[in-house]
Amino acid sequence: MGLFYGPIGFVETVEEPSGSGIWVEKPTERNYRGEVSRYGKRWENGSQQVNPNLTITNTISIVADPYLSNHLYALRYIKWLGGYWEVSSVDVESPRLVLSIGGVYNGPTVESSGNTGEHPRIK
């Protein structure tokens, strides 16, 4: 259907500084190339919400590399179409991984871990 090239985000919990007992989430990003195999979106209304949440139901198939295979537990988000989206599930179809995309990702990203204290996507 379509092609994808962009960053996929991994978030690992690390102790900084070492031995301090303080654990922080450290995001990293790596660029991957793949194919968009399904497009879709839906609006989710909640009883306590004024505006519905947008959830996309796309799947993106990428070729796995050793880094991705060893860090599947830390795979959290994908940057696509100008936004950050949660990776809701991963299907292993060796040698490819099929990423199912869900709602908007609001966790730590590489851009948000700067020292400015401002949210990078809200200006």
Q: Read off φ and ψ for residue 49, nearest 5 degrees.
A: -110, 145
For the segment 1-27, the average pLDDT, to the nearest whole number, is 88
Contact 11, 25 (CB under 8 A): yes
Which tokens is 40 given? 């879709």
- Using DSSP's 3-state secondary structure scheme, residue 27 falls into strand
All structural domains of the chain? 2-111 (2.40.10)
Per-residue model confidence as pLDDT tens digits over 77-96: 999 888 899 999 999 888 89
What distance in Å separates the CA atoms of residue 106 and residue 84, rounded to the nearest whole number?
8
Among 23-32, 60-69, 103-112, name the one with the lowest average pLDDT.
103-112
Per-residue model confidence as pLDDT tens digits over 50-81: 766 777 778 999 998 999 888 888 999 999 88
